[in-house]
Amino acid sequence: MSVETDLVTPMGDMRKFLREGLAIAITGRRVVVGVMVVAIACAVFGLRLIPPEFTATLIIGPIAPGGLLGRGAPSPAVPETGGESIGDHGVGEMMSSYDRFIYEMTSYPVAEELALVPNFAPRVFETMWDPATSGWKPDDGPAGKARRLINELVGRTPWTPPDARTLARYIQKEVRIQRIGGTPFRRVTYRHADPEFARLLLNLLYATTERRLRSAAIHDNRKMIEEIGRKIGSVTDIDHRRALRDLLIGHERFAMMMDVDLPLTATLIQPAMAEALPDTPDPVVVLAIAAAMGLVVGLGMVFRAAVIAGDGADGDAGDWRR
C-alpha cells in the first residue's frame, strides 16, 4: 500500500496528526520548558509562603468486656448527657459507651471545657489573638476581611470573638476520626504548624472526654446506690430484697473501682505523636503537580501558536515550523 493511500485512512490520519503534533512540541520545546520552570518556581514560592503543618495521630480502642470490673459484675452503662452531645437515635437504637466516647470527642461540651484551658483557645485562633492586649481582635488576613465585608453587606454581625461553639466547630472540621481497617480501633488525626500543640490538642481531647464520661457514670452510679438503698428499706419481699442487695453490691463494686486509674470508656492504644518533619503540604507532590500543569499549559501555548500560524498559511503547520 502506498503512502498516499495510507494517509487517507483513519489510521493514517491519526499517525499524521501524531507526527505533526510531536514535531510541533519538539519545535516549541523551549516554550514548554520555560512554562514548566515558571510553574515550578511559583510552586516553590508558594511553598515558602505557606507554613508547613505536622500531622499528629492518636489511636483509641474499646475497653475489655466488663470494663474495670473484669469478669465480675458489668459496669453500669455510661449515661446519656444532655445538650448537644447526644446524637439522634430512633426508637430501639442503642449507643455503646465506646461509640458515645467517639461522638463526645468532637462535641460542644468537650470544647466548652477545652476553652477554659489557659492559652488553649489563643493557640487555636492565633490570627484573632492580640498578645499585647491579651484579648481578641478581628482577623486582619484577606479571608477574614472578606468575610466581615460580606457579613456587613448582608446586614449581619461582621465579627464576634471565638467562644466554645467556635472551638467546637473548629474541632469538628479539623479533627479526623477514622476506623482502622475492619477493627474497632479509631485513628484520630489533627494538623497544625506546631507539632507539640497538635499532640497537646489530641491528648486533651482524649483526657477531657474520658473525664466527662467517667464523672457522669460516677454521678449516676451514686444516684443508683442511694435509690437502691431506699428500696431495700421499703421492700418486704425476701426475694426482692435479695435481688436489690445483689444489684447494690454490683454498683458499690463499681464505685470502689472508680479510684483505679484505668480508662472507663476507651483505651488509649497510642498517645498522640507526630513526625519530626512536616508532611503537609508535601513538596514533592506540589512540585510534580506544578510541573504537570506547566507542561499542559506550555503545550497548549505551542499548539495554539501553531494553529494560528497554520491558519495564516492556509493550514500548513510546516510553514510555522520553518
pLDDT digits 0-9 by tens, 138-151: 888 888 889 888 98
Whole-number percent of the chain with pLDDT over 90:
35
- Tell me what pLDDT residue 136 has: 92
CATH number, domain 54-125+162-274, options 1.10.12, 3.40.50, 3.30.420, 3.30.1890: 3.30.1890
For 209-227, b/e burial (b = at least 16 CB within 10 A) is bbebbeebbeebbeebbee
The stretches of 50-156 forming alpha helices (DSSP H) are 97-104, 108-114, 120-124, 142-153
Q: What pLDDT does 179 receive? A: 94
Q: What is the pLDDT of residue 207?
A: 94
- Domain boundaries along the sequence of the chain: 3-48+283-321, 54-125+162-274
Mean pLDDT of 166-192: 94
Q: Tell me if residue 3 falls in helix, strand or coil.
A: helix
User: Exposure of 275 by Cβ count < 10 A (0-12 exposed, 13-18 middle, 19+ buried)?
Assistant: exposed
- Residue 190 confidence (pLDDT) above 70: yes
Going by the DSSP 8-state scheme, the letter that residue 80 receives in this structure is P
- Quote the pLDDT of residue 318: 47
- pTM listed for this prediction: 0.72
How many CB atoms sit inside 10 A of residue 294's CB? 22
Residue 267 and residue 210 in contact, taking contact as beta carbons nearer than 8 Å: no
* Percent of the chain topping pLDDT 70: 82
CB-CB contact of 68 with 260 (8 Å): yes
State the pLDDT confidence band at 9, using cuts at 50, 70 and 90: low
Using the predicted structure, report yes or no on whether residue 195 has a pLDDT greater than 50: yes
Q: What was the pLDDT predicted at 244?
A: 85
Specify the range with the lowest mean pLDDT, choosing from 25-34, 59-68, 165-174, 219-228. 59-68
Distances (CA, A) of 65 to 84, 98, 142, 247, 253: 28, 11, 52, 19, 16
> pLDDT tens digits, residue range 31-47?
888 999 999 999 999 88
Residue 227: predicted pLDDT: 86
Q: What is the rounded average pLDDT of the residues 161-184? A: 94
More confident: 123 or 22: 123
pLDDT, position 39: 92
Residue with cell 454490683: 250
pLDDT of residue 11: 63
Bond preceding residue 138 cis, omega within 30 of 0: no
Burial of 111-135, coded b for 16+ CB within 10 Å and e otherwise, reads bbbbbeeeebbbebeeebbeeeeee
Looking only at the bridges linking them, the beta strands covering 54-62 and 176-179 are unpaired
Angle at 189 between CA 183 and CA 190, to 5 degrees: 170
More confident residue, 265 or 317: 265
pLDDT top residue among 206 and 304: 206
